[in-house]
Amino acid sequence: MHMTEQPDLDEIEERFVAILEGRLSRDEADRWAMRWVADGDLAWEALEWWALNLLAGIDLPAGPAGDYLHDDEQVRAWLQELQQRRPG
């Protein structure tokens, strides 16, 4: 049984925006997304699943320098792709 409803595309998109605006850490976004990705009882649309899986690895380090594997430019590109692929 789920305590909260699974997030919709608006909530998922908001996580990308919040990261880019500095309102959400990458670690927080990763943990939030992993919670949903790991729940095998949920059914996702393809676009939601794609976006959640990007968020689920958004805090991966690129090396010891403290940089991220996926920089802000990449996150912005994912957000734009998500917005372009949204139905309606």
Asked if the structure places residue 4 within a domain, the reply is no
Asked if the structure places residue 15 within a domain, the reply is yes
Q: Which residues of 28-46 are buried (b: 16+ CB within 10 A; e: fewer)?
A: ebbebbeebbeeeeeebee
Asked if the structure places residue 3 within a domain, the reply is no
Q: What average pLDDT is seen over the chain? A: 93
Asked if the structure places residue 72 within a domain, the reply is yes
Helix axes 46-55, 72-85, angle to 10 degrees: 170
pTM: 0.91
Provide the number of structural domains found in the chain. 1
Q: pLDDT tens digits for 22-54?
A: 999 999 999 999 999 999 899 999 999 999 999
Does residue 2 have a pLDDT over 70? Answer: no
Domain membership of residue 45 as a residue range: 9-76
